[in-house]
Amino acid sequence: MESKRKFVHHIFESIYDKYDFINNLISLGLHKKWRRDAINRLGDISNCSIVDLCCGTGDFTIALAKKAGNNSLITGIDFSENMLTIAKEKASRENVKNIKFVHCNVLTMPFESNTFDVATICFGLRNIVDYRQALIEINRLLKPNGKFACMDMSHPTIPGYRKLCYGFVKYGVPFIGKLWANKPNEYAWLFESMQNFPDKFQLADEIFAQGFTYPKIKTYAGGIVALHVCTKTMN
């Protein structure tokens, strides 16, 4: 597991400067719409303590902060210092002040139990060396009845479309990574991480097993992306 953690850490420390640009390319900009929808599905998040895990360059964290308002505090967490540098620059540029960014591993976060009202993780869970342990840690951090939203890559159910999507992710994304960032091997990780990640129903079962209500599931782009929204049930 430690070798995988170091490998994934190297990837994100390497691609930080082109991360947003290439995300826009491979999703045709649709990831922004998906993230807005995810935030809307959380309902009222004003006056909340919110943690955004694997926050990366901070787009989702900043959007949460704007939606939640100045009476809320959003904590963005990531293990890549380079990604956090970009996130901090964005928050400063957009004059968003109700955010703090913390550099740490999401499996060993330095917070007391029952700290947050809301937890989110956007395109990050499959990158964690032990996503089940991450779900346990998220449950620990949330207050009882706290909200949890997880958006990540998934597996389309229509066979022909699934094959098309897999082909693009396996061959097209590394080509784009080589063309625009000279990082084909780093972008090949997307396909590898998808292959080892559960489908939307399997993930819903995993989330439920770790002390959450059974998630409501929303898919995007024909099922290549899935959102799970639920609440903590265990004390």
Evaluate whether residue 98 is within a structural domain: yes
Domain extent, residue 87, equals: 2-154+198-231
User: Taking Cα atoms as reference points, which of 146, 144, 132 lies closest to residue 203?
Assistant: 132
Evaluate whether residue 43 is within a structural domain: yes
pLDDT tens digits, one per residue of 147-182: 999 999 999 999 999 999 999 999 999 999 999 999
Evaluate whether residue 208 is within a structural domain: yes
Evaluate whether residue 28 is within a structural domain: yes
- Mean pLDDT (the chain) is 95
Above pLDDT 70, what percent of the chain?
Answer: 99
pLDDT of residue 235: 56
5 vs 130: CA distance, rounded Å = 10
pLDDT tens digits, one per residue of 89-132: 999 999 999 999 999 999 999 999 999 999 999 999 999 999 99
Evaluate whether residue 213 is within a structural domain: yes
Above pLDDT 90, what percent of the chain?
Answer: 96
Q: pTM for this one?
A: 0.95
Mean pLDDT within 7-32 = 94
140 vs 210: CA distance, rounded Å = 10
pLDDT band at 3 (very low <50, low <70, confident <90, very high): confident
pLDDT of residue 73: 96
CATH number of the domain that residue 106 is part of = 3.40.50.150
Count up the domains in the chain and report the number: 1
Q: Locate 45 and state its tokens.
A: 């998040």
pLDDT of residue 186: 92
pLDDT of residue 1: 67
Evaluate whether residue 169 is within a structural domain: no
DSSP assignment string, 111-150: --TT-EEEEEEES-GGGSTTHHHHHHHHHHHEEEEEEEEE
Q: Locate 67 and state its tokens.
A: 């939606």
Evaluate whether residue 94 is within a structural domain: yes
| Full 3-state SS string of 57-100 | CCHHHHHHHHHHCCCCEEEEEECCHHHHHHHHHHHHHCCCCCEE
Evaluate whether residue 173 is within a structural domain: no
